Chain A
């Protein structure tokens, strides 16, 4: 039997949530904070494009990212797939939503390394 838990509820609209990135720590690590979804996808893809243009491995601290949708995960996977041999994308503390999607759709993608 269906059990209604709540009545009609309204949630106050939050302001748009930007995606924020800045350089942090050694080795050109980029820290990204926010949520990756329809609204922030263009900024996310711009950021990934900029990082590809750099030298060496790409280091991203994702401890400040709370959510990545499938389109955002796809962009990340595509970025890793396009890296020349020997370059990797190293992501620190990705949100569980991202890990779950990468496991489901790109289980053999070795160019992404997840670190704590």
Chain B
């Protein structure tokens, strides 16, 4: 039997300046529109403005999303942004520009960004889609660009497209599965099935004391509830919750004896009639960043919530894409 061509394509576009950027992205968008394909652009705000202006009247035919908001937590880009758009157009080939990594990404965010890029290949395998990921070669570290060659099967540089010799996305998924260190003095609570409400109240009480805006308290309660319930149901029946403040964020960390074997857990959008399977997805939707470390000794999931309002849409996801 002849091998079937993989319908999903996932090129990285290396660009050095705005001219490069537009040369690599505009024909991609316009080609999609000309072919009648649904097109979405999810890139950082400044790049979004650049593309919107360059597209002129065609901008109205493209779904435009500020990735700094929609994709602040890299863990929700696949379910909410990419599959959110692709699934809204069943049976049609879609084109998406997704730029999840920019100069301002922190050292804490970056491992989750790289894992996200690697997991796109699994999440979209066999699907009719092209996801083009621009990388700013002038501003990003060489290590980031090297990772992009591992997470993307195709590279576009100076207008030339070629297969990546380094493509091996699972190495990135496992390589960034890093132990997470916790600051001394973080508040700690051990829980089991009897103490699930205590775990929620414990996190909420500290969230209030640290000044988390009141309209995000439910996000913390829901995220902590899902993580601690997962420990009780799937992670050995008990676990430990730690809460602390770090770099302008409230951090809630849950450790248990379970092992997360599905790398796409929490990244598959839920179908409306689906029973269960929304816990980690919800944690990804509500948090500003989620980091995970899993291994034989157990699983740690850490979620971050911004303590201060940086912008008007600072809250997790708001409306469906």
Contact between A100 and B273, CB atoms less than 8 A apart: no
Closest to A5 in B: B245
Residues of chain A whose beta carbon lies under 8 Å from any beta carbon of chain B: 1-11, 13-14, 16-17, 35, 37-39, 67, 69-71, 74, 77-78, 81, 95-97, 100-101, 104-109
Contact between B276 and A67, CB atoms less than 8 A apart: no
Closest to B187 in A: A6
Contact between B218 and A38, CB atoms less than 8 A apart: no
Q: A3-B245, A11-B195, A105-B278 are in contact. List 15 more A-B contacts (CB 8 A).
A: A3-B246, A5-B209, A6-B185, A14-B197, A35-B197, A38-B193, A38-B196, A74-B278, A97-B221, A101-B222, A101-B282, A104-B285, A105-B272, A108-B272, A109-B272
Complex: how many Å from CA A105 to CA B210? 29
Given contacts A11-B198, A37-B196, A105-B270, contact A70 B188 (CB under 8 A): no
Closest to B274 in A: A74
Complex: how many Å from CA A11 to CA B191? 10
| Interface 9-mer from B34-42, B134-142, B163-171, B199-207 | B199-207
User: Looking at the complex, which one of A1, A17, A81, A107 makes contact with B247 (CB distance below 8 Å)?
Assistant: A1
Given contacts A11-B198, A13-B194, contact A70 B272 (CB under 8 A): no
Q: Which residues of B contact A16 (CB under 8 A)?
A: 194
Contact between B185 and A10, CB atoms less than 8 A apart: no
Q: Which residues of A contact B279 (CB under 8 A)?
A: 70
**B320 contacts A by Cβ under 8 Å:** yes
**B244 contacts A by Cβ under 8 Å:** yes
| Interface 9-mer from B23-31, B46-54, B225-233, B296-304 | B225-233
User: Looking at the complex, which one of A2, A67, A70, A107 makes contact with B183 (CB distance below 8 Å)?
Assistant: A2
Given contacts A7-B185, A13-B194, A67-B221, contact A106 B272 (CB under 8 A): yes
Contact between A70 and B189, CB atoms less than 8 A apart: no
Could you pull out 30 A-B pairs where Cβ atoms are within 8 angstroms?
A1-B246, A2-B183, A2-B244, A3-B244, A4-B186, A5-B210, A5-B244, A6-B187, A8-B188, A9-B187, A9-B189, A11-B195, A11-B202, A13-B195, A14-B195, A17-B197, A37-B225, A67-B197, A67-B221, A69-B225, A69-B229, A70-B222, A70-B282, A74-B275, A74-B276, A77-B272, A78-B275, A97-B221, A100-B219, A101-B282
Complex: how many Å from CA A70 to CA B319? 18
Pairs A-B, 8 closest by C-beta atoms: A4-B185, A2-B183, A6-B187, A2-B246, A97-B218, A96-B218, A69-B225, A70-B278
**B317 contacts A by Cβ under 8 Å:** yes
Query: In angstroms, how far is the closest chain B Cβ from the Cβ of A81?
Result: 7
Residues of chain B whose beta carbon lies under 8 Å from any beta carbon of chain A: 183-189, 193-198, 200-202, 206, 209-210, 218-219, 221-222, 225-226, 229, 232-233, 244-247, 270, 272-273, 275-276, 278-279, 282, 285-286, 317, 319-320
Query: In angstroms, how far is the closest chain A Cβ from the Cβ of B246?
Result: 4
Given contacts A3-B246, A104-B282, contact A69 B272 (CB under 8 A): no
Highest count of chain B CB atoms <10 Å: which of A10, A11, A70, A109:
A70
Closest to B186 in A: A4
Complex: how many Å from CA A18 to CA B170? 45
Closest to A9 in B: B187
Contact between A7 and B196, CB atoms less than 8 A apart: no
User: Looking at the complex, which one of B187, B210, B286 makes contact with A8 (CB distance below 8 Å)?
Assistant: B187
Complex: how many Å from CA A8 to CA B188? 5
Contact between A38 and B233, CB atoms less than 8 A apart: yes
Contact between B272 and A5, CB atoms less than 8 A apart: no
Closest to A4 in B: B185
Closest to B251 in A: A2
Highest count of chain B CB atoms <10 Å: which of A4, A39, A77, A101:
A4
Contact between A39 and B183, CB atoms less than 8 A apart: no
Closest to B210 in A: A5
Closest to B192 in A: A13
Contact between A38 and B229, CB atoms less than 8 A apart: yes
